[in-house]
Structure 1
Amino acid sequence: MATAAPVSGEAPELEKRLEEVKLESNTTEAPPPTQNTREASREKSFAATLREKQDGVLKTPIVDPVETAIPSALTELTPEQQEKYEALLVTVKSWKDVPSTKGKEGPVTEDEIMWLTKECLLRYLRATKWVTAEAAKRLLGTLTWRREYGVGELTGDYISPENETGKQIILGFDIQARPCLYLNPGRQNTEPSPKQVQHLVFMIERVINLMVPGQETMALLIHHKSSKTKSHAGPGLSQGKEVLSILQTHYPERLGRALIINIPWVVTVFYKLITPFIDPLTRQKLVFNEDMRKHVPPQQLWNEFYGDLDFEYDHEAYWPALMKLCEEKHKEQHERWVKGGKHYGESENYIKGGNTPSIGSMVAEVTEEKTTPATLPEPVTGTPEASTTVA
């Protein structure tokens, strides 16, 4: 049936009401952002800015490895290794305080719990040949050292003068997606001091910030190119031993490969003196005078190390960019850890944005399975005989 047309007196009133409806619809709040909207918003990050193609010489860090660079596949734990890991995790969870002889003792902090990841515990187990008690002792020793050394208190502003010449540069990734830390002894700009060691520790922490999901190690690239400026004394044997002690004791299993080229005879003597203090596993990772293009994709290998990457160290451009990128990465990782439930033994792959679920989500799934009541059978309809049979 056709709808009757409004009489002339009703038309203006109807038009007015329609206009009010339009106005109301225009002032209605926008719906909450969808997942795609959130992703687009999150992509407008500092890392995204650095990913944008830059014309001319590169002066800032590289955010991602090349597509063909993939971390080595992880080896599954044996039942015995899994048991040792779980025993170590129980021990670590029992720690209420971190000891110190320098007035730094106190309750375990959130940052320290976040540091005690599954991969961290496994690194210490591997470094101690799977002796659980020794791994626990070394882990607690590192927590104490990190507090007393002030690892978390070292800032970009404090370290900045040490790196004004670019004697340490984090740039690009090797063929297994390890972040590359370039050491340029020829650019030394300060005399040997404790601050030089702090500088290296600070840069290693920044390298760890930039590790991609599935990668736990870094690549060291060392070029003993002579300096064109005033010569500063190189590290003495005592400082070399201190650095080695810190790396081997507090950063076990973090070195993936060290590529060293253009070694003068003086440095050769230094390496020979210090070699006895290098553990055998680390020694196997030292590669001398090889073509670095075999180990680092040429497009991400600095041309001063015989790659194709046209990079120039400009402290005013590079240093603030590195600090901002690392701060952003650390914030994102901390937010994921908090969202996952602030667990001991959290997966680094999850924290860094990989496809591994958080411990919290796995615990929730198991709990849900255990607490979900069993489904009762549907009541049977039909003849009394059928009902009796089912019962």
Structure 2
Amino acid sequence: MESSSPLPLPNPKPTTQQNPQNETHQAPPPSPKPFKKSFVTSLMEAATLRSPSFREDTYLVSHLKPSEKKALKELKEKLSNMSLDSDSMWGIQLLSGDETADVVLLKFLRARDFRVSDSLTMLQKCLSWRKDFGAETVMEEDLGFKELEGVVAYMHGYDREAHPVCYNAYGMFKEKEMYERIFGDEEKLKKFLRWRVQVLERGINLLHFKPGGVNSIIQVTDLKDMPKRELRVASNQILSLFQDNYPEMVARKVFINVPWYFSMLYSMFSPFLTQRTKSKFVIAREGNVAETLFKFIRPENVPVQYGGLSRAEDLQTGPPKPASEFTVKGGEKVNLEIDGIEGGATITWDIVVGSWDLDYGAEFVPSAEGSYTIAVEKTRRIAAGEEPVHNSYTSKEAGKMVLSIDNTTSRRRKVAAYRYFVRKPSSSA
């Protein structure tokens, strides 16, 4: 029978380079450039430094301040003495008195800075909206947006702290025909908003609603090609609806492929956002997407279109195989050596470098003296935005695989990740 087992991931090692006189030296570090804040840099600071960085609630009652414990107790008492449109949301009984109910109530209290009266009003309005909207059953509906699934808004994997991640991208609506088909009139807009709530409810269905557990999601919004003017009405309604009815459901908002006109978008959205919401913002310019996402999400969970290793079909086969992360400095060439490959074994590998734009190649080096090195993948230039390399090779003799990443023509440091699996040769019984 065949068996498959991953080998230990080796540490990437930079190679040296040869000058015309065959003298060996390390690639020189890039010379520093005078620092000057760009418009987008200033904008990023405005968005991220406007308020203190976000600190996620643990929902442990023991961690609450005395005034916060008092507010929670008071909110419970007020709820028990009034008639509600419903006494549950997200499958949790609000009057049960258990810790799951505390998590939900604390979300509303936190959203209103523990002002009990304001929190109660928000909760009542949310319960009424959920009843009128049919939010409890929306996940069961077929709203006819198959073409938007996995493109415009979708759940995909988890971050490093096990938060479910929701991706949003509205670039396809830059085409007028597509925009008119989805947002052409009020009824179409209502249907789209219903679908967008459906996607969010799927993400919330993955949460624990337990103290110390995973009680919020991560949102990644791709601003590339987003038609800012045309989507203004839809964007404002989505933001308002989510902020009013899904308090503290988002732990972090990551904006990627941020264009030059982000200031206009930010000023448009800002009136609808609380200071606490703004403190969750993370901004990534075009060309810096993978590096930003890798800070929060492991490469094997980042979609391939954003510089990761994850494809939608991978999620159907269980948890992804872990990848090894490394960086390639500007002016550096890195060789990844995978040793111990037996004759007849098959090695499969995935490798990606954020915003590629460098040379890549793979070769098999046999162990036996006199054997020739085999070019498995001839060295080629991989342009920015290309998907990860996925390849396999069956060796005829023992040796090692060498994956080469050449960044010597660039001054930019780049994040990278790879993983591999070795299937041993079949053996007769």
Matched residue, 1:33: none
Q: Is the 8 A contact 1:224 1:261 kept in 2?
A: yes
Deviations 1:175-228 (CA, angstroms, capped at 9, x unpaired): 22110001121245552212221122111111111124511111111223449x
Residue 70 (structure 2) pairs with residue 83 (structure 1): yes
Counterparts of 1:237 and 1:269 in 2: how far apart (Å)?
A: 11
Q: Is the 8 A contact 2:255 2:283 kept in 1?
A: yes
Bigger Cα displacement from structure 2, 161-170 vs 201-210: 161-170
Q: Secondary structure at the match of 1:159?
A: coil
Matched residue, 1:286: 281
Matched residue, 2:360: none
Matched residue, 1:153: 137
Bigger Cα displacement from structure 2, 154-163 vs 165-174: 154-163
Q: CA deviation at 1:73?
A: 5.0
Bigger Cα displacement from structure 2, 267-276 vs 299-308: 267-276
> CA 1:216 to 1:160, structure 2 compared with 1: closer, same or farther past 3 Å?
farther
Counterparts of 1:113 and 1:294 in 2: how far apart (Å)?
A: 33
Matched residue, 2:265: 270
> CA 1:159 to 1:266, structure 2 compared with 1: closer, same or farther past 3 Å?
farther
What amino acid does structure 2 have at the position aligned with 1:211? L
What amino acid does structure 1 have at the position aligned with 2:218? A
Q: Is the 8 A contact 1:72 1:176 kept in 2?
A: no
Counterparts of 1:115 and 1:201 in 2: how far apart (Å)?
A: 21
> CA 1:224 to 1:172, structure 2 compared with 1: closer, same or farther past 3 Å?
same
Describe how 1:238-257 pairs up with structure 2 within 5 A: 238-257=233-252
Q: Is the 8 A contact 2:87 2:93 kept in 1?
A: no
Residue 198 (structure 2) pairs with residue 202 (structure 1): yes
> CA 1:177 to 1:141, structure 2 compared with 1: closer, same or farther past 3 Å?
same
Counterparts of 2:151 and 2:261 in 1: how far apart (Å)?
A: 22
Matched residue, 1:222: 221
What amino acid does structure 2 have at the position aligned with 1:174? D
Q: CA deviation at 1:126?
A: 1.3
Residue 127 (structure 2) pairs with residue 128 (structure 1): no
Q: CA deviation at 1:295?
A: 0.9
Matched residue, 1:299: 300
Q: CA deviation at 1:293?
A: 0.4
Among residues 191, 208, 211, which one is paired with 2:182 in the alignment?
A: 191
Q: Is the 8 A contact 1:217 1:256 kept in 2?
A: yes
Q: CA deviation at 1:161?
A: 1.7
What amino acid does structure 2 have at the position aligned with 1:223? D
TM-score, normalised via structure 1 length: 0.53
Counterparts of 2:91 and 2:294 in 1: how far apart (Å)?
A: 39
Q: Secondary structure at the match of 2:127?
A: helix
Describe how 1:51-62 pairs up with structure 2 within 5 A: none
> CA 1:112 to 1:307, structure 2 compared with 1: closer, same or farther past 3 Å?
closer
What amino acid does structure 1 have at the position aligned with 2:266? Y
Matched residue, 2:207: 211
Q: Which runs of 5+ in 1 are unaligned?
A: 1-52, 54-70, 99-107, 322-391
Q: Which runs of 5+ in 2 are unaligned?
A: 6-55, 95-100, 184-188, 319-429
Residue 126 (structure 2) pairs with residue 142 (structure 1): yes
Counterparts of 1:219 and 1:239 in 2: how far apart (Å)?
A: 21
How many residue pairs get aligned? The number is 235
Counterparts of 2:65 and 2:236 in 1: how far apart (Å)?
A: 35
Among residues 156, 171, 178, which one is paired with 2:156 in the alignment?
A: 171
> CA 1:304 to 1:161, structure 2 compared with 1: closer, same or farther past 3 Å?
same
> CA 1:210 to 1:307, structure 2 compared with 1: closer, same or farther past 3 Å?
same
Q: Secondary structure at the match of 1:309?
A: coil
Counterparts of 2:295 and 2:91 in 1: how far apart (Å)?
A: 38
> CA 1:172 to 1:81, structure 2 compared with 1: closer, same or farther past 3 Å?
same
Among residues 80, 93, 100, which one is paired with 1:93 in the alignment?
A: 80
Q: Secondary structure at the match of 2:79?
A: helix
Q: Is the 8 A contact 1:191 1:233 kept in 2?
A: no
Counterparts of 1:240 and 1:218 in 2: how far apart (Å)?
A: 19
Q: CA deviation at 1:130?
A: 1.2
Q: Is the 8 A contact 2:84 2:124 kept in 1?
A: no
Counterparts of 2:160 and 2:278 in 1: how far apart (Å)?
A: 20
Describe how 1:113-124 pairs up with structure 2 within 5 A: 114=92, 116=94, 117-124=101-108
What amino acid does structure 2 have at the position aligned with 1:167? V
Q: Secondary structure at the match of 1:219?
A: strand
What amino acid does structure 2 have at the position aligned with 1:298? P
Deviations 1:146-198 (CA, angstroms, capped at 9, x unpaired): 11122123244433425346321211111221100011212455522122211
What amino acid does structure 1 have at the position aligned with 2:301? Q
Identical columns (%): 22
Counterparts of 2:58 and 2:123 in 1: how far apart (Å)?
A: 25
Q: Is the 8 A contact 2:152 2:169 kept in 1?
A: yes
Counterparts of 1:186 and 1:161 in 2: how far apart (Å)?
A: 16
Counterparts of 1:112 and 1:220 in 2: how far apart (Å)?
A: 19
Describe how 1:103-114 pairs up with structure 2 within 5 A: 108=86, 114=92
Counterparts of 1:279 and 1:292 in 2: how far apart (Å)?
A: 24
TM-score, normalised via structure 2 length: 0.49
Bigger Cα displacement from structure 2, 77-86 vs 154-163: 154-163
Counterparts of 1:308 and 1:78 in 2: how far apart (Å)?
A: 43
Q: Which has the larger radius of gyration?
A: 1
What amino acid does structure 1 have at the position aligned with 2:123? L
